[in-house]
Amino acid sequence: MLIAQQLQHCGLQPANLCVEVTEGVLLSDSLGAEQAIRDLHALGIRLAIDDFGTGYSSLGYLRHLPISELNA
């Protein structure tokens, strides 16, 4: 994974990185986005959902996805 390679190349800890995705990304390709989120979480990268609550997503995402932060 490119992100893992870059973290290693730069000597950064994965926990120091937070990847932010919009709620719209989750809605447009939920299966692909969910897998990418799980893969990033497995690397130790923190994840945030931006614009949460502006679309049709539910709090159910918070139960089954490893989300670290919400931005409303």
Containing structural domain, residue 21: 2-70
The mean of the pLDDT values for the chain is 86
Report how many domains make up the chain: 1
Mean pLDDT across the stretch 41-69?
82
For 40-66, b/e burial (b = at least 16 CB within 10 A) is bbeeebbbebebbeeeebeeebeeebe
Using a 10 angstrom Cβ sphere, with 0-12 exposed, 13-18 middle and 19 or more buried, the burial of residue 26 is: buried
Count other Cβ atoms within 10 Å, centred on residue 7.
18
Dist CA 20 CA 26 (whole Å): 11
Q: Could you tell me the pTM of the whole model?
A: 0.79
Give pLDDT tens digits for 26-41.
777 778 888 999 999 9
Mean pLDDT across the stretch 43-53?
88
